[in-house]
Amino acid sequence: MRDLKVGRINYLNLFPIFNCLEEDKEAPPFNIIDGVPSSLNRLLRDGRIEISPSSSIEYLRNREIYEIIEGHSISSFGAIRSILLFSKKTIEELDGEKVLTSSQSETSVVLLDVILRRFYGYDVELIPSECNLPDALQQSPACLLIGDDALIWRKRLTGSIQPYIYDLGEIWFRNTGLPFVFALWIVRKDALQEMKEEISLFKEALNRAKAKALLSLEHLSSLTPLSTILSEEEIISYWRQISFDLGEDHIKGLELFDRFRLTLP
């Protein structure tokens, strides 16, 4: 039995799951490769890792090479709090504008495109950027941030920088009535053939990790690096806002997103 190569998005949203995974003595041997969503998508696509929580758009674009691990996702029924559009203008004033987007993201960029084009009927140019928020808002009227960056900047905003803040999960739910699936746990189909036993054991460990994590949020909140920036209450509230499951409504939301994104120009 060889070690699985497992991608880890090193954001607060997945901290509870990975903390419990790494403590599981019954889990099969695995090596963690850290990365932001866009980089882990490439590693998974290229076969340099076998399994990972990955952008839902990566799965939708490449269904032929992946299989979903059932029962697991990073989703929301409404606000997600960490996929945020910061804007100097109201969203109703963004038609025809250039909007900066986090280079770490793929799913959220497509979601923003769907929201602006389909829900608002706007023609907006989305431009990848690595700028911090104050610099981004000097260059553009709006900027999309994801993950810990979104959480941290929302907390830090003070003084003269007081943009409008739009939660993409909330806008999606308001317009569709369905959850939005930001990330899925997916595994390469070729790895399923080559490492069937290891992956089966990992799935069992992942199930245990999720169950344990959801019962341990208070304890885990003090262990995360963001505990120096966000309060324990803010961290726990954020985790409880996330749906870590993958049920029938999640799949409906995922398939609707796929249909919408295929209509984009």
Per-residue pLDDT tens digits for 186-234: 999 999 999 999 999 999 999 999 999 999 999 999 999 999 999 999 9
Q: Which CATH topology does 83-176 take?
A: D-Maltodextrin-Binding Protein; domain 2 (3.40.190)
Mean pLDDT of 121-125: 95
Q: Which CATH architecture has domain 4-75+180-262?
A: 3-Layer(aba) Sandwich (3.40)
pLDDT greater than 90 at residue 131: no
Q: What is the pLDDT of residue 265?
A: 86
Q: What radius of gyration do the chain's Cα atoms show?
A: 18
Domain borders along the chain are 4-75+180-262, 83-176
Q: DSSP state, 120?
A: S
Per-residue pLDDT tens digits for 159-197: 556 799 999 999 999 999 999 999 999 999 999 999 999
Dist CA 221 CA 47 (whole Å): 33
Dist CA 112 CA 177 (whole Å): 17
Q: What is the pLDDT of residue 162?
A: 78
Q: How far apart are the first and last CA of the chain?
A: 46
The mean predicted confidence, pLDDT, of the chain is: 95
pLDDT greater than 80 at residue 238: yes
Q: What is the pLDDT of residue 158?
A: 62
Q: What is the pLDDT of residue 18?
A: 98
Helix, strand, or coil here: 74?
Answer: strand
Bigger pLDDT: 105 vs 79:
79
Question: Do 83-176 and 4-75+180-262 have the same topology in CATH?
Answer: yes
